[in-house]
Structure 1
Amino acid sequence: MCCSVGFARSLGLALLPLALCCILANLLLLFPMGEMTYIEQGRLASYIWYFGGLGGGGLLMCGSVLAAVVGLVGASYCFVVSGLALMQGPLCFTSLGWSYPFADQGGYLLQSATWSQCLQPLHIVEWNVTLLCVLLGLAVLEFILCFLQLASGVVNAICRPCCYKQEYNL
């Protein structure tokens, strides 16, 4: 365990598919139910535009192969933005117009009967909840892997002298 260069490389390679999944999930959030209408009309929830999955869980995570600290920050950012977006709920068209009908109702996630308040985009609550939960889960996995990668690098730096002792003769 002392010399963990292979372990750090394996973690780095594991982070790449997670980053790609975060990027894909964030891009799907931009196109509710696969339609471009809502992005063109500016009818997306505000937290979607913070690009938690694209930037934090995606692009910054790819940089974590070289710098685990950047990956920890990226995973944390993805987790926080996704959590805030989940708590706020989607921007949707209701009987009162475009609004965030669940912003003041913290328990809307457990009350699926209220989701029908959103008339457009159709099934937007399910769409957002599913993808934001995917982003939360991926962010947790990325955070754990980055933490392990960082710990592995620290252990390797500390143990390297004992692992590669060389005797020098004059």
Structure 2
Amino acid sequence: MCTGKCSRFVGLSLLPMALICMIANLLLMFPNGETKWTDHIAVQVWLMAGLLGSGLFMLCPSCNAIRAGGKGCCGEGCCGNRCRMLRSAFSSIFGGLGSFYCVAVSGTALADGPMCNLNELSGKEAKWGYHLKGLNESYLTNKASWNDCKQPPNIALWHIVLFSILLGIGALQFVLCAFQLINGLLGVMCGDCRKKDKNEG
């Protein structure tokens, strides 16, 4: 597979991943799908790792990779594609930093657990905090501890599923950005093989 086709594949893969991460981050801001809990959500949600790091930051390397897989400004396989490959390689570094940020924040969020209330009271009597963080056994493997959080309802499962999505996609994005960095540099040095393929066809 030539460098141009690889770039297009990477770009088209990163684009839906970025959209999924943005949606996951937005859902984290509304625990249990309700707006009344927005004052009590984990600090990692406000860091916008999915919305920014693996979301908006990923649009630049995605679009550049797709463009690098297209025709250059002066024809196939010449300077135009080499320039686009170079831009794609640089933007992949930017995307890699964004995805690493998402992985770091998501990993911390899964380790700390969600912010929740241990009882069903509200106001001054409510005890909000990261109550699943200080357990002897990790709450991730102790499903019974999820029931300790009364408000928001089902917050532990909500927190785990969405941040796991961000962690997994962020890690995959990092790998794809690293691959595109290498692929882009190869495209700059060796050119695009699609012109050769076309002539052979």
TM-score in terms of structure 1 length: 0.88
Q: Which of 61, 64, 71 pairs up with 1:64?
A: 61
SS in 1 for 2:117: strand
Mean Cα deviation higher: 13-22 or 65-74: 65-74
Q: Which of 141, 145, 161 pairs up with 1:130?
A: 161
Give the distance between the partners of 2:57 and 2:179, measured in 1 at CA.
17
- Cα 1:159–1:113 change in 2 (3 A) is same
Match of 2:114 in 1: 90
Give the distance between the partners of 2:192 and 2:20, measured in 1 at CA.
38
CA distances 1:25-70 after superposition (whole Å, capped 9, x unpaired) = 000000011100011xx11111110011000010001112331111
- Cα 1:53–1:162 change in 2 (3 A) is closer
Q: How does 1:21-170 map to 2 (within 5 A)?
A: 21-39=20-38, 42-65=39-62, 66=64, 67-95=91-119, 97-105=127-135, 107-160=138-191
Query: Is there any run of 5+ residues in structure 1 with no aligned partner, and where?
Result: 165-170
Q: How does 1:10-25 map to 2 (within 5 A)?
A: 10-25=9-24
- Cα 1:161–1:91 change in 2 (3 A) is closer
Give the alignment's Cα RMSD to 1 decimal.
Answer: 1.9
Code of the residue aligned with 1:102 in structure 2: it is L
- Cα 1:163–1:5 change in 2 (3 A) is closer
Give percent identity, aligned residues only.
40
Give the distance between the partners of 2:17 and 2:165, measured in 1 at CA.
11
- Cα 1:93–1:62 change in 2 (3 A) is same
Give the distance between the partners of 2:34 and 2:160, measured in 1 at CA.
17
**How many aligned residue pairs are there?**
161
CA distances 1:87-145 after superposition (whole Å, capped 9, x unpaired) = 11000011461111022236111111111110000110000000111111111111111
1:146: how far off?
1.0
SS in 2 for 1:114: helix
1:160: how far off?
2.6
- Cα 1:121–1:161 change in 2 (3 A) is closer
Code of the residue aligned with 2:162 in structure 1: it is L
User: Which consecutive aligned stretches of 4+ in structure 1 deviate over 3 angstroms post-superposition?
Assistant: 161-164
SS in 2 for 1:37: coil
1:162: how far off?
10
Code of the residue aligned with 2:158 in structure 1: it is W
